[in-house]
Amino acid sequence: MQIWLLTHSEELKKKTGTGKLVKEVLNNECDIIEWSRVMPSKTILDLSPENTILIYLCENEELKYHHDSGITVKNIIIIDGTWQQARKIYNQSPYLERFKHYEIADIKSVYSKRRNQKITGLCTAEVAIHLLAKYQHPAMSTLLDRFTELNR
């Protein structure tokens, strides 16, 4: 399983960004790709919709990924940025619509380093922790411990 962080450029400048933490823990199982509106990442464009899910809200039931939907997930794209930045990335990147969307519901964020975020909006590390737990990845506990330490 490979995690792709499609990251807003402003997120890379922030000390409170948790995408870097995910990359540190997962090392070669995670790549940070700086999003560009005018030059989409060839890596993301080349991913197969057959085995890739996108972590983003979706109102179209046909685009939603359910654990029992029968696909083998090899790639996970997480949009890394504030909710406002994530919405901008998604809305200005129509190629992301071709991937199955996976929503994480009914979990409240415990991330305390930023204000004015959605109560139900998870930071990038919380999303990764959830996914690693879902897929029983051995790095989940390490990422959880590192996130807990960062969040103090």
Q: What does the pLDDT average to over 34-53?
A: 96
Q: How confident is the model at residue 117 (pLDDT cuts 50, 70, 90)?
A: low
pLDDT of residue 58: 67
The yes-or-no verdict on residue 96 having pLDDT over 90 is yes
The yes-or-no verdict on residue 108 having pLDDT over 80 is yes
Place of tokens 């990147």: 93
The yes-or-no verdict on residue 57 having pLDDT over 70 is yes
Domain boundaries, the chain: 2-150
Ranges of beta strands (E only) in 64-146 are 75-80, 100-102
pLDDT of residue 47: 98
Give me the phi and psi of 3, to 5 degrees please.
-105, 130
Q: Which two tokens stand for residue 11?
A: 């997120």
The yes-or-no verdict on residue 127 having pLDDT over 60 is yes
H and E: helices and strands count for the chain: 5, 5
pLDDT tens across 66-85, in order?
A: 665 677 899 999 999 988 89
